[in-house]
Amino acid sequence: MSRLVATAVGALLAAPAFAQQARDAENFEQRIERLEAEIAYLKDNARANRKEIAEADVALAKLPEMEKSAKAADWAGKIKVKGDFRYRHEQIDDASLTTDRLRHRVRVRLGVEAKVNDTVKAVVQFATAGDDRDPRSTNQTLGEGSTRKGVGLDLAYADWAPAPGFNVQLGKIPYAWQRVGSYVWDGDITWEGGAVKLARGPFFASAFGSWLAESGSGADANLFGGQFGVKATLGGVGVTGAVGYFDVGAVQNEITLGSTAPACSATNAFFGGAQGNRTHVIGGCRRLRDDYNMVEALAQVDLKLGRLPLAVFADYVRNQDAIDNDTGYSFGVTLGKAGDPKSWELSYVYQDMEQNAQFGQFVDSDFGGGTTFSKGGVVKAAWVPAKNWTLNGTCFLNERVLPGAAAVTETWRDYDRLQLDLNYKF
């Protein structure tokens, strides 16, 4: 009995110790679980870190390529490319000839504009060179035995804009002065020289100079001039007016048409003769009689006729140094605007260009066959069936005196021309 009591007493005394050992074992297992969880977390982080490090290494290796791509994208953002293609059916009825002329022609132009920096851009444009490299035409006539067609430098100039509304252009430049829808100037001419243009609010002005012929043995034919004008909106009506002065130098008494007997070498300011201007003979050679210093005044009003745009213009030019036949004028009206798809326009222009009113090399090459001493009307229609695609029809109903004829013997002959065009822009 005493042994049983002793065993019970011993068990009671040992119970707290056993309980503490159980608790210690449980805490040890929990610590092991926590350690195992921390080790697993560290392993996962190590794998993630290794992956991030590897990805960073790959990105670092691609950095030069990315920099090149960024530079290429920046370069591409500084370049603008544009162009157009035109297919033309043309019929000419010249009363001075026995047969009509029917021909098909193409014109292609492709230009690039590059931003050099914040104030300078460079422009280069190529175009079909035109028959005989005529500066007034970029058309190439089809039907020449499938020969390759020539391409020429149409525009090549730098444009510096050091301040808003102020531009300096140098090279083979576009027109630097305001024009209207007349045929006083040919729209295809690109001028070789420089221009300064200014625009402040409603006022604009320009000064320009162009070399027409360079000679190592004589004076260089040239054109210098300027224009001042106003463009404003008054009560919803757009009003434009301008006055310009154009001085053609070193052309008076210069040879306009070459010959071998007698030996006459034409100045290269003239292409195909005097283009209607009055000539006379000195030393056996045909030469330009007058000097050409022209004053031009133009005006245009833009308003609405119902929902349709309506533009009305007038253009007047006078050669202050001509002996006679010194005045030209033009007026016209355009209803509608061929711009958006399904839009259209219809226009009419009348022009009367006396023989010596304008330097013959500058007049439009289509009106009156590209000569002065011409007059008549032009009817034109345009329709846009889809974006960047325009259909044009133009009918010239003109009269002209044969180039070179004297005023006292003038005989007016009909000169009619029909043009049907497909125009595509890209």
Question: 3-state DSSP call for residue 53?
Answer: helix
Q: What is the domain range of residue 34?
A: 16-77
- Amino acid identity of residue 253, one-letter, is N
pLDDT at 101 over 60: yes
d(Cα 336, Cα 334) in Å, to the nearest integer? 7
Q: Does residue 102 share a domain with residue 68?
A: no
- How many other C-beta atoms lie within 10 A of the C-beta of residue 285? 20
Q: Does residue 167 share a domain with residue 70?
A: no
Among the candidates 77, 102, 128, a domain finishes at 77
Average pLDDT over residues 39-66: 67
327-336 and 308-319 strand pairing? antiparallel
- How many other C-beta atoms lie within 10 A of the C-beta of residue 169? 22
User: Which of 343, 350, 333, 365 shows the shortest CA–CA distance to 398?
Assistant: 350
Q: Does residue 129 share a domain with residue 87?
A: yes
Q: Does residue 22 share a domain with residue 83?
A: no
pLDDT at 333 over 70: yes
Would residue 5 count as lying in a domain?
no
- Residue 279: the pLDDT is 95
% of the chain at pLDDT higher than 70:
83
Helices H / strands E in the chain, number of each: 1, 19
Would residue 334 count as lying in a domain?
yes
For residue range 402-420, list pLDDT tens digits in order: 865 555 567 899 999 999 9
Would residue 390 count as lying in a domain?
yes
User: Which of 162, 143, 53 shows the shortest CA–CA distance to 103?
Assistant: 143
Q: Does residue 137 share a domain with residue 50?
A: no
pLDDT at 29 over 80: no
Q: Does residue 400 share a domain with residue 281?
A: yes
Q: Does residue 165 share a domain with residue 20?
A: no
pLDDT at 46 over 70: no
Q: Does residue 99 share a domain with residue 42?
A: no
Give the N- to C-terminal CA distance of the chain in Å, as an integer.
119
User: Which of 134, 64, 63 shows the shortest CA–CA distance to 105?
Assistant: 134
pLDDT at 99 over 90: yes
Would residue 9 count as lying in a domain?
no
- Residue 36: the pLDDT is 67
- Residue 5: the pLDDT is 45
Q: Does residue 259 share a domain with residue 151?
A: yes
- pLDDT top residue among 54 and 125: 125
Would residue 11 count as lying in a domain?
no
Q: What is the DSSP letter of 255?
A: B
Would residue 197 count as lying in a domain?
yes
As for how many domains the chain has, the answer is: 2
Q: Does residue 169 share a domain with residue 43?
A: no
Would residue 10 count as lying in a domain?
no
- Half-sphere exposure of 334 toward its Cβ, with a 13 Å CA cutoff? 18
- Residue 275: the pLDDT is 95
Q: Does residue 136 share a domain with residue 277?
A: yes
Largest CA distance in the chain: 168
- pLDDT top residue among 43 and 221: 221
> Where does the pLDDT of residue 61 fall: very low under 50, low under 70, confident under 90, or very high at 90 and above?
confident
Would residue 174 count as lying in a domain?
yes
Q: What is the DSSP letter of 407?
A: G
Q: Does residue 25 share a domain with residue 100?
A: no
> Hey, what are 295's tokens?
């004053």
Q: What is the CATH number of the domain that holds 417?
A: 2.40.160.10
